[in-house]
Amino acid sequence: MNRLAYFIATALFLTVPIFTASCGGTVTRDPNVLATTLPANPPTLNPIMAADETSSEVDGYIYESLLKLNNRTLEREPQLAKDYDVSPDHLIYTFRLRRGVRWHDGTPFTADDVVYTFEQIRNPKVDAANLRNYFKDVKRIEKVDDFTVKFVYARPYFKALEIISGAPIISKHAFDNGEDFNSHPVGLRPVGTGPYRFVEWKTGRHIILSRNDDYWGPKPAITGISFKIVPDGTVRFELLKKGAIDMDSMRAIQWVRQTQGTSFTDNFTKHKYFVPNYSYIGWNMRGPYFNDVRVRRAMTMLVNRDAILREILLGEGEVVATSFYKFGDQCDRSIEPLPYDPVKARRLLEDAGWADTDGDGILDKDGLKFSFTLIIAAGSPLQRSMALMLHEDLAKAGIEMEIRQLEWATMIKLLFERKFDAAIMAWAMPLQQDPYQVWHSSQVDEGSNFLGFADARADRLMEDARQEFNKSKRNKLYREFQQIVHEEQPCTFLFQMPSLVAVAKRFEHVIDYRLGLDVLEWKIGPWPKLIEW
């Protein structure tokens, strides 16, 4: 008897939601709102403290900087600054600010906000060490009048304008009320000048923005943006397919093979663009294995990058040979990646003195077995695939390689302590790259030069380039630098990966620019009823 009752109760539990959801339990979704995802809950929305892609993604709609990048020309053009001057010695930058701009709370935007922003960035008590690092050479920041700000640099640097004009400007009156800056509530409820204003942030669930109807510039057609926070990549893809979100990025195999059906192509358009990035397998040049250039070249020749690109990435991407953006003007595209050639690689290893003298199947040299550990980040299927292939190919060449899949925190720690033999990494970079922090010998012990690459000629080229304001001259220096890196092979460069994005068809005027899509200029076409899942 009881069993029957329980059975009925259970059955009810299962059917009730289906039943009620179909008549009254669901919410309709506003077609004028763009729904997309974030892969993690942002740690903060304070744009100065944000060291995280999720924060910058959201803050990009709320906050503005002095200048912005033009989608087509990729040149800087006015945003909060109306125009600017640079002194002939490239030390003084004067910005004249736009008048009539209001913060989302209605107060006017002035030079005080700009000065306050940079004071906070440079304040050692503020949790913005990464951003502050760029402003080490700034001598002072002056408010000339209510709408003019002057920056004085201690020494010229070709990226100075980009750095100053790219920093998000925060509101002085919102933050400066005596509360601690790092834990300030405005960090969780941002107040900006941008085209969208903050509405709601449910931790770990979503962030909602709505259009700023008092925006000083042209108002976007999309009335709101909702970011759903979904950590799992496969789930994000499922959400897209079921129509719960309007836009998301995909992996190559999803892009090529898993979005072929009409249920997908009827509802989405696909977009591809190349945000500057590159991945590499870095060889720690300090250790006993990779201090010889012949070994490093042999390693590169054991990685079949073309086949991986063709079969695993299904051709979506580019093999790169240098650290510079493959489609930018800094890159020396004449450098050919070293070919896949296991036979030659074995010969190189032999030349370097590695041979199997004790007959255990593993190469050795001076009593040291060629047995090292490769560290990769957990959660990246591509890195895992490549590591496993390398494991197999190196074993055939007589090299033992252990793979350690580490969560990000541990991996970073090992990189900083230089306690690794080899690592697969991916870097995102700005359009105009300064290789100084990653490749200069001064960064070997303390900075981001994890691999321990030190070359006097390369050092000089990078130092000169930093103070060279003539683009073509500077790029010539960088080309020479790239040749040196290529010769030395401190790492095996892998791929420039594309961003592969699907956008719901109701959005029109979606243009693929080199660096991405511009949501602000999208229009909205007609569409039937949408459900909020």
The answer to whether 143 and 115 have CB atoms below 8 angstroms apart is: yes
| Closer residue to another protein (CB): 148 or 380 | 380
In DSSP terms, 37 is beta-bridged to 228
Q: How many residues appear in the chain?
A: 533
Tell me if 211 contacts another protein by CB under 8 A: no
* Sole binder of another protein in the list 66, 225, 377, 530 (CB under 8 A): 377
* Sole binder of another protein in the list 76, 96, 211, 241 (CB under 8 A): 241
| Closer residue to another protein (CB): 244 or 295 | 244
Q: Rounded to the nearest whole angstrom, what is the least distance from the CB of residue 404 to another protein in the complex?
A: 6
Q: Rounded to the nearest whole angstrom, what is the least distance from the CB of residue 459 to another protein in the complex?
A: 17
Q: Rounded to the nearest whole angstrom, what is the least distance from the CB of residue 271 to another protein in the complex?
A: 19
Burial label for 520, CB within 10 Å (0-12, 13-18, 19+), is middle
The answer to whether 84 and 150 have CB atoms below 8 angstroms apart is: no
Tell me if 143 contacts another protein by CB under 8 A: no
Which residue bears the tokens 């699907």? 502
Q: Rounded to the nearest whole angstrom, what is the least distance from the CB of residue 133 to another protein in the complex?
A: 6
Stretch binding another protein (CB under 8 A), from 64-72, 110-118, 257-265, 502-510: 257-265
Structure tokens at 187: 């960090």
In DSSP terms, 206 is beta-bridged to 202, 228
3-state secondary structure of 348: helix
Helices (H), 21-137: 53-62, 111-122, 129-132
CA distance 23 to 493: 56
Q: Rounded to the nearest whole angstrom, what is the least distance from the CB of residue 312 to another protein in the complex?
A: 7
CA distance 97 to 228: 35
Residue ranges in 310-339 that form contacts with another protein under rule CB under 8 A: 310-312
Tell me if 243 contacts another protein by CB under 8 A: yes
Q: Rounded to the nearest whole angstrom, what is the least distance from the CB of residue 193 to another protein in the complex?
A: 23
Nearest C-alpha neighbor of 168 from the set 220, 101, 202, 118? 118
Tell me if 130 contacts another protein by CB under 8 A: yes
Residue ranges in 166-185 that form contacts with another protein under rule CB under 8 A: 182-183
Structure tokens at 111: 């030079």
* Sole binder of another protein in the list 315, 388, 457, 509 (CB under 8 A): 388
Tell me if 204 contacts another protein by CB under 8 A: yes
Q: Rounded to the nearest whole angstrom, what is the least distance from the CB of residue 90 to another protein in the complex?
A: 19
Tell me if 79 contacts another protein by CB under 8 A: no
| Amino acid identity, position 336 | E
- Residue 234, number of CB atoms within 10 A of its CB: 10
What is the Cα 28 distance to its own chain's centre? 33
b/e map 119-132, b = 16+ CB within 10 Å: ebbbeeebbbeebb
* Sole binder of another protein in the list 87, 203, 265, 357 (CB under 8 A): 203
The answer to whether 432 and 165 have CB atoms below 8 angstroms apart is: no
* Sole binder of another protein in the list 361, 367, 526, 528 (CB under 8 A): 361
Structure tokens at 521: 């200029």
Tell me if 123 contacts another protein by CB under 8 A: no
Tell me if 371 contacts another protein by CB under 8 A: no
| Closer residue to another protein (CB): 260 or 334 | 260
Separate counts of helices (H) and strands (E) for the chain: 17, 26
Tell me if 432 contacts another protein by CB under 8 A: no
Tell me if 467 contacts another protein by CB under 8 A: no
Tell me if 357 contacts another protein by CB under 8 A: no
Tell me if 529 contacts another protein by CB under 8 A: no
Stretch binding another protein (CB under 8 A), from 205-213, 284-292, 478-486, 509-517: 205-213
Nearest C-alpha neighbor of 425 from the set 444, 440, 442, 412? 412
In DSSP terms, 401 is beta-bridged to 372
* Sole binder of another protein in the list 91, 152, 221, 429 (CB under 8 A): 429
CA distance 424 to 283: 9
| Closer residue to another protein (CB): 87 or 123 | 123
* Sole binder of another protein in the list 71, 94, 410, 483 (CB under 8 A): 410
Tell me if 41 contacts another protein by CB under 8 A: yes
Tell me if 457 contacts another protein by CB under 8 A: no
What is the total count of residues that contact another protein (CB under 8 A)? 122
Nearest C-alpha neighbor of 155 from the set 132, 142, 136? 136
The answer to whether 372 and 422 have CB atoms below 8 angstroms apart is: yes
Residue ranges in 260-279 that form contacts with another protein under rule CB under 8 A: 261, 263-264, 277
